[in-house]
Structure 1
Amino acid sequence: MTRVVSLFLPTWSTDRVRRGAGETAPPAEAPLVLIGHNGRRRVVVATDAAAHAAGLRVGMPATKAQALVPGLGIQDATPAADADALDRLALWIMQRYAPVVAADPPDGIVIDTTGADHLHGGEQAMLAGMIDRMAGSGIAARAAAADTLGAAHALARYAGRSIVISQPGAAEAAVVPLPIAALRLSPALIGNLRTLGFDRIGDLLAQPRAPLTLRFGPHLGRRIDQALGFAPELIEPIRSENLIEVRRSFPEPIGAAETIARYIGKLVVELCAALEEHGMGVLRLDLLCHRVDNIMQAIRVGTALPVRDVKRLTRLLCDKIETIEPGFGIEILALTATIAEPLADKQTVTSLIEDAVADVSDLVDTLANRVGEQRIYRVAPVASDVPERSICRVPAMSPETGATWSGDWPRPPRLLDRPELIETVSLLPDHPPVSFTWRGVRRRVKRADGPERLFGEWWKRDAELVAVRDYFRVEDDAGERYWIYRAGDGEDAATGSHRWFLHGVFG
């Protein structure tokens, strides 16, 4: 089932102005409005959150706004710059999240995420990630996911929550309580409907369609059908002139999996030839299938390293053919190198002395495209004495940095996400436990080595200024080995709680 995300940027114009001003931008709590012209009158065309909270509204005369808020920040509106920046943001989202993305001016972006959400941890995690990334860039955002563009657009703007997810098949129930303005109708039509007492979308759905069409024309019915999924609404994906793309049109629509696979192979050959001309390799590849019923299907695959190997790219794409629903047939196939990087030709050298280095990038690509690239990673060292801070996740094929862990003291291969509290019998201050109870099982300690004292990182948190941990490697009477520690030095209460924790297990 199709899933569409609408990303709503309620203060896009003023957020863009603040980002462009950099360090000279006014503080967030200072009201800011953008001024444009309505005929010969200067009126407010955009407000930030502070200006809206102060009572300023779009359409208000500029002189009135200045009188209501002394010291109001005023700048000229630049709609063309807003539209260009929105297109650039849409391109970035297309590269990061899904192949079918379009700007929804003046303050939104629409994304067809069908089959792509699992690569980002599910819809909830994907939408939360979008909003967090926008907030990190100083852009306010709300997002909604639904079966149709119309429903997602309405929920993002009128549901009143930062994240709204309409369950599959529940578009009608989701939009029924929303105001009629959520249907993307003209202001004049909205005014006429309200005059007749229609305030909510549910009020319109309860009426026969024929009288509404006779009085207000077909546009109202079309918007209702688009929101409920009875009428298709094409999302024309944004494209950059710099993208390398090949496409093929068919006089007769195709639909068989074998036929689609054959033309995928031909398109990959053409794309790799174009990539070679530019000296590039592909990192993210999108296949767009334009159906005859004005619906678009998309496949996205990625690679860990720049690639222009025909066999590998063809196999990665063909592995996802089963996700394509050709419907009444596909009339256009378009293959795009969404993300490409320089790739130098490599000379094959045969040596009888040096061992060949295994190339696992093909395996990494296969797994990442099946389960998501976030689930395929390596663990790398971080310069920190605190064990849980001494590791980080890096992409599976990221280059080696040369950093290593200190080999003075052995570390367990399995480190718990969080140290778990244990009950112990021990002598303070320097003796290991005689026994401990972990997860309801009592274990008697037969051997122990330690303590290894680790100090807190005072430059990160004041609470770690005097904090210490005393770690021990212990072995129980069953031969199992554990890594445990006491919070504190065993004497001074300021150094820790003196409670014991299990932090790792030795294999």
Structure 2
Amino acid sequence: MPVPRRILSLWFCRLGAERILRRDGIDPALPLAVVEDTGNRQVLSALSPGAQALGLRRGQPLREARSLCPDLLTRLRNPEAEAGMLTALRRWAGRYSPWIAESGSDGLVLDITGCARLFGGEEALLTRLEEDCAGLGLTARGAIADTPGGAWALARYAGARAGSDRSGDAIDQEARATRSRATRRHWDRGGSAPVIAAGAAPASRIAPPGQLGRILAPLPVAALRLAPEVLDQLNRLGLRRIGDLAGQPRGPLARRFGQGLVLRLDQALGHAPEPVSPRREAPAFATRLTLPDPIGLEEDLLAGLDRLLPRLCDTLRQEDRAARQIRLEAWRSDGTMQWVAVGLARPTTDPARIRPLLVMKLAQIDAGFGIDMLRLIAARTEAPEEAPRPDPLPLDSRRNASPAWRPGRPVAPARDDLLARIGARIGLEALTRRHPGASHIPEKGALTLAAAWSDAPDSPWMPPPQPRPLRMWPPEPAPQLPPESLPPRRIRWRRQDCALLPHPARERIAPEWWLADPAWRSGTRDYVTAVLEDGRALWLFLAHGADLPGGWFCQGSYG
């Protein structure tokens, strides 16, 4: 008999605030709020227990919170630091299950199928996990269900009920649409995130197998992880509980509220699959230098870089890896971080090739009140490439080569260093090279590839039967003016009547019949080079009209 799937959702409701409490050693009883910018205002994203006890809530505007608590301590939100802390918690939670993934920006999801018996049952596992989090100084609330969506809903909304949003006596006979006119926003109307309900024991947050529909029915629709605008529409219609949606036909719901509502509902109830996809741990190649006193001079940064770079390159060589992108982080004494990153045209472990690129970027680092830690990271690594081939310059070109050149010395590193230096200023994506294309179609005769991620072409360029123009564009109509002749003597192109001088060169190009190319539905083309009276040379062709009307078109210019 197959073991039923069991999912545990863990919610860190005060992750942002408790990260600062742990870092700065602030008393949790003090009112502390983490503030983030949303458009043109600042709102509270996380609260300490002391701030929440005063009646403040997540999503509340900072100006309103200041009026309620003048002594409120505030810190700006650092999403990168919070994401790093959640990643560390994901690695820490590996002691409870080998299958863990992050759930949003403040939660984890664990597949505990077959694992709960190792800890004395599901309730014992949930209690132990929450106690271990409390020992780390973190407030966590977990729930267990058959699906990730159901566990997510119970972790945040267990014990909550979607009541009327109208003040005064509830009038059950009143129409739902009339009751929804009240303007007070709360969690059951898509407002701020819920708070931990008092008295919600771990046992009440565990849905027995096969009974998830009954457990989720009284919860508010906000427990389905819906967009705020969808929540507003549902509440205007009086659909406030998950049970109100579970009995509705899926077709009308999808037409009115979109496929997202139906998908979230089916995922929560187990009718649609929602796998737990843990992120694969990438090997970390990094080294850091902690400084006894803050530094701020560029010479000091260079001295620290000279210590870090050889150590990082030695580590990469030991693991048979090479750096493709290097990131230098400068952690300042106020807890913030400045960083620069450089890319390399070819993966390398040579510090002499990496150092000049980082030196070019050091001026972008603002030391502020001082830097007390440097961290050098190989953000992207690849397998080391083989030794470059010798210089392929012909004999007559070697006499005019650089004095530093000598026979047998590879020039690939020098070319790659040049690409990396230019790429550090304008970006490696802006550097391209042309490769010959395997097609006789003019616009497909050459491929544009990124120079940093491609090698020089091995096959020689095959010259076309006739010279190709320097500039090419999509074909533009150029109707022939009388008197008609071949090639034409007069055409109308770009709102101008152009007189052409005779040119005998002609070339016929047939389309690739094995490919359905919409641009070549006009059939076979006869290309001619037409010279205008002012000296400009145009590339014209006569389309014979297979599936589309034919005629004369202009596709390029030689000047």
TM-score range, shorter chain: 0.5 to 0.7
- What is the SS of the residue equivalent to 1:259? helix
Aligned with 1:335 (options 358, 367, 376): 376
Pairing partner for 2:536 from 466, 469, 480: 480
Cα distance in 2 for residues equivalent to 1:444 and 1:401: 41
Identity %: 22
Equivalent residue of 2:421, what SS?
Answer: helix
How many pairs are equivalent? 328
Once the two structures are TM-superposed, the CA of residue 323 in structure 1 deviates from its matched residue by 1.1
Secondary structure of the 1:247 match is strand
Q: Cα gap change, 1:243/1:290 in structure 2, threshold over 3 Å: closer, same or farther?
A: same
SS of 1:287's equivalent in the other structure is: strand
Give the match for residue 362 of structure 2.
Answer: 321
Q: Where do 1:280-319 residues align within 5 Å?
A: 280-319=321-360
Aligned to 1:505: 557
Aligned residue number for residue 427 of structure 2: 372
Deviation of 1:242 (Å): 2.0
Residue 287 of structure 2 corresponds to 246
Question: Larger relative contact order (C-alpha < 8 A, sep ≥ 6)?
Answer: 1
Query: Whole-Å Cα distance in 2 between the matches of residues 105 and 192 of structure 1?
Result: 15
d(CA) in 2 for partners of 1:433, 1:468: 18
Gaps of 5+ in 2: 16-33, 89-280, 392-404
Q: State the 1:361 CA deviation.
A: 0.9
Partner Cα distance (1:285, 1:463) in 2: 43
Residues 288-335 of structure 1 show CA distances to partners (whole Å, capped at 9, x for unaligned) of 111111111111111111122322211100101111111111111111
Q: CA RMSD in A?
A: 4.5
Asked whether the 8 Å contact 2:296–2:367 carries over to 1, the reply is yes
Q: Separation in 1 of the partners of 2:425 and 2:459?
A: 30
> Does the C-alpha gap of structure 1 residues 361 and 232 become closer, same or farther in structure 2, counting only changes over 3 Å?
closer
Q: Does 2:465 correspond to 1:409?
A: yes
Q: Cα 1:375–1:317, aligned 2, differ >3 Å: closer, same or farther?
A: same
Shift of 1:494: 4.2
More moved, 464-473 vs 293-302? 464-473
**Counterparts of 1:374 and 1:79 in 2: how far apart (Å)?**
43
Rounded Cα–Cα distance in structure 2 between residues aligned with 1:105 and 1:402: 58
- Kindly report which structure 2 residues correspond to 1:137-216, keeping only aligned pairs within 5 A, or say none: 151=36, 171=37, 173-175=39-41, 183=45, 201=60, 204-207=61-64, 209=66, 211-212=68-69
Q: How many Å apart are 1:385 and its aligned residue?
A: 3.7
Q: Note the C-alpha offset of 1:470.
A: 2.6
AA aligned to 1:473 is T
What's the TM-score, normalizing by structure 1?
0.53
Alpha carbons of structure 1 residues 422 and 266: separation in structure 2 relative to 1, 3 Å: farther
2:76 paired residue among 220, 226, 246 = 226
Q: SS of the residue aligned with 2:358?
A: helix
Segments of 5+ residues of structure 1 without an aligned counterpart are 1-74, 84-103, 107-148, 152-170
Q: Does the aligned pair in 2 maintain the 1:469–1:485 contact within 8 Å? A: yes
Matched, 1:381 2:470: no
Partner of 1:410, secondary structure, is: coil
1:337 Cα deviation (Å)?
1.5
Q: Is contact 1:458-1:465 (8 Å) kept? A: no
The structure that is strand-richer by fraction is 1
Which of 438, 446, 451 is residue 501 of structure 2 equivalent to? 446
Provide the TM-score with structure 2 as the length reference: 0.49
**Matching residue's letter, 1:376:** L
1:250/1:331 contact within 8 Å kept? yes
2:475 maps to a residue whose letter is P
Separation in structure 2 between the aligned mates of residue 354 and residue 311 of structure 1, nearest angstrom: 21
Distance 1:233 1:484, change over 3 A: same
Q: 1:346: Cα distance to partner? A: 4.7
Separation in structure 2 between the aligned mates of residue 426 and residue 400 of structure 1, nearest angstrom:
49
Amino acid paired to 1:325: D
Deviations 1:62-121 (A, max 9, x none): xxxxxxxxxxxxx946569x99xxxxxxxxxxxxxxxxxxxx999xxxxxxxxxxxxxxx
Counterpart residue number, 1:432: 487
The aligned counterpart of 1:165 is none
Q: 2:416: which partner in 1? A: 361
SS in 2 for 1:270: helix
C-alpha distance in 2 between matches for 1:327 and 1:246: 23
**Counterpart of 1:33?**
none
Q: CA, structure 1 residues 199+481, in 2 after alignment: closer, same or farther (shift >3 Å)?
A: same
Aligned partner of residue 455 in structure 1, secondary structure: coil
* Contact 1:457 1:464 (C-alpha < 8 Å) held by counterparts: no
**Cα distance between partner residues in 1 of 2:451 and 2:551:** 37
Give the Cα–Cα distance (whole angstroms) in 1 for the partners of residues 389 and 465 of structure 2: 42
Shift of 1:432: 2.0
SS at match of 1:407: coil
TM-aligned CA distance change 1:427 to 1:355, over 3 Å:
farther
Radius of gyration: which is bigger? 2
SS at 2:481 equivalent: strand
Are residues 400 and 352 of structure 1, via their aligned partners in 2, closer, same or farther at CA, if it must alter by over 3 Å? closer
Query: What secondary structure does 2:304 align onto?
Result: helix
